[in-house]
Structure 1
């Protein structure tokens, strides 16, 4: 009996032959869909969005006016920069953490950005 498309053996073969980063991106994308979040690659400027992904980096960006906390969120399709104005640190916002964020999508220097997004820390699974 031939294996049907997307069957057990097809998935097993893919897991054994695919790059770890590619598999992780697929898992993030699937989890995002299950949680009802939008794919970052489909989000447009000015749109109210909800995105779920993993924080790749978090850094403090000091300036003369006010410090900002910037983080890169990756949902398996595209990265989104999260910027919290006037914040130096937010408990739980750290690299490797999975979060769901909500806000109005903006574009800065060609990159998708959410300013002061609402966020929910996801439990580790």
Structure 2
């Protein structure tokens, strides 16, 4: 009986932890969308493919993924509405480009392998 009670208490604590984590993620997403609107920019979700756009958000991941034998720095940009991959071909690293960094990118969105992607965008690091 005590084991059953301890198990229920553990599940309750786990649910509470997950709820706090999800709540903080929702708050982060809300803040990112608010910053995008305040800057007068379109969200990733609303951006039109193949048209020049300016997007901003936070880099979630940054990795080196060669494409066609060429080094490529790939980052996932998240703005609270969605994500897009930004890829700099021929680059192994870029100073300031790291997970958690705020950035603004300018370029055209394409689709490759079912993912939205922007190649070689102009970028501006946002203050930390």
Shorter-normalised TM range: 0.7 to 0.9
Partner of 1:90: 94
Larger helix proportion of the pair: 2
Cα 1:78–1:64 change in 2 (3 A) is closer
Matched, 1:121 2:125: yes
Q: Give the CA deviation at 1:65.
A: 2.2
Q: Give the CA deviation at 1:64.
A: 6.0
Which secondary structure does the structure 1 equivalent of 2:45 belong to?
A: helix
Matched, 1:43 2:70: no
What is the RMSD of the two structures over their aligned residues, measured on CA atoms? Answer: 1.5
Unaligned ranges ≥5, structure 2: 1-19
Q: What does the per-residue CA deviation read over 1:37-60, in whole Å, with 9 as the maximum and x for residues that have no partner?
A: 210001121111111100000000
Q: Give the CA deviation at 1:35.
A: 1.5
Q: Give the CA deviation at 1:76.
A: 0.5
Q: What does the per-residue CA deviation read over 1:63-120, in whole Å, with 9 as the maximum and x for residues that have no partner?
A: 5621000000000000010000000000000000000001011111221111000000
Q: What does the per-residue CA deviation read over 1:23-43, in whole Å, with 9 as the maximum and x for residues that have no partner?
A: 000000000111122100011
Partner of 2:109: 105
Partner of 1:65: 69
TM-score by length of 1: 0.81
Number of matched residues?
108
- Bigger mean CA offset, 71-80 vs 18-27: 18-27
Unaligned ranges ≥5, structure 1: 1-15
TM-score by length of 2: 0.80
